[in-house]
């Protein structure tokens, strides 16, 4: 199964680079980004985007038309979940899950007007480090998180003064980051959407980015004799 997912991942990346490579007349823009994540895990015992995380990296933008372009990103992203004790209500349960990913999103970037833009597309991420702490005890060895995360993103951004931009984005995994056991998978849900999203744990992320555009200088044409 892991080999099959790895195959799909490389196929996804080859497709992304081939699409960009075919746009020989497009203008490339480099966009360093930095931001913050508000994280939760769908399927755990808590709710709310309670865990903060850092995110950042670089994005290559390739223009496809006047309003449409393609963003290919290489990002570091901290995800997970965090639940504190609530002693006033008699809740003494604490847990924290830290997930560190290298994320590769490929997003269509649509300019709605001169100021606002929309991004939409899939992403694949590699989990290179994680930890799980429950009530002060490290349970990292007991949880076998999947090495690859597959997600879809939707964002809304705005151009600021000069080459600065801001964007808010949702990122939700559509395959489990941690699979339920065989017993849990035998539970039948009559709703097909519920059946699809009750196979394990899923990352739900809200992100806010600050972006700067770097426009490479065009080579000057040689002087004709």
DSSP 113-130: SSSEEEEEEEEEEEEEEE
131-158 average pLDDT score: 91
Phi first, then psi, for residue 92 (nearest 5°) are -110, 15
Q: How confident is the model at residue 68 (pLDDT cuts 50, 70, 90)?
A: very high
Q: Residue 204 above 50 pLDDT?
A: yes
Average pLDDT over residues 75-97: 85
Of the given ranges (10-19, 100-109, 151-160), which has the lowest mean pLDDT?
A: 10-19
At residue 22, the pLDDT reads: 47
Cα dihedral 118, 124, 128, 132 sign: positive
**Domains parsed from the chain with CATH numbers:** 2-212 (2.40.160.20)
Asked whether the predicted pLDDT for residue 217 surpasses 80, the reply is no
Q: What is the pTM (predicted TM-score) of this model?
A: 0.79
DSSP structure string for 133-195: EETTEE-GGG----SEEEEEEEEEEEE-STTEEEEEEEEEESS-SEEPPHHHHT---SSHHHH
Which DSSP helix (H) or strand (E) runs through 53?
Answer: strand 51-63
**Phi–psi pair at 73, nearest 5 degrees:** -110, 155
| Mean pLDDT for all residues in the chain | 82
């Amino acid at each position: 199964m892991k080999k099959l997912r790895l195959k799909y991942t490389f196929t996804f990346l080859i497709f992304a680079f081939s699409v960009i490579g075919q746009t020989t007349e497009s203008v490339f823009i480099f966009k360093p980004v930095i931001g913050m994540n508000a994280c939760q895990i769908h399927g755990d015992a808590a709710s709310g985007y309670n865990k903060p995380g850092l995110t950042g990296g670089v994005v290559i933008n390739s223009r496809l038309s006047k309003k449409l372009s393609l963003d290919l990103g290489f990002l570091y992203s901290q995800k997970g979940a965090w639940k504190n004790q609530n002693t006033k209500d008699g809740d003494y349960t604490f847990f924290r899950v830290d997930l560190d990913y290298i994320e590769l999103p490929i997003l269509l970037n649509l300019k709605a007007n001169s100021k606002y833009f929309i991004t939409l597309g899939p992403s694949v991420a590699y989990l290179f480090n994680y930890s799980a702490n429950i009530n002060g005890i490290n349970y990292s060895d007991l949880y076998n998180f999947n090495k690859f995360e597959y997600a879809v993103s939707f964002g809304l951004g705005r151009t600021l003064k000069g080459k600065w931009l801001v964007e808010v984005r949702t990122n939700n995994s559509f395959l489990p980051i941690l699979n339920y056991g065989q017993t849990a998978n035998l539970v039948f849900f009559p709703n097909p959407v519920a059946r699809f999203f009750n196979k394990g744990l899923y990352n739900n992320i809200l992100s806010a980015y600050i972006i700067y555009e770097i426009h490479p200088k065009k080579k000057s044409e040689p002087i004709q004799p």
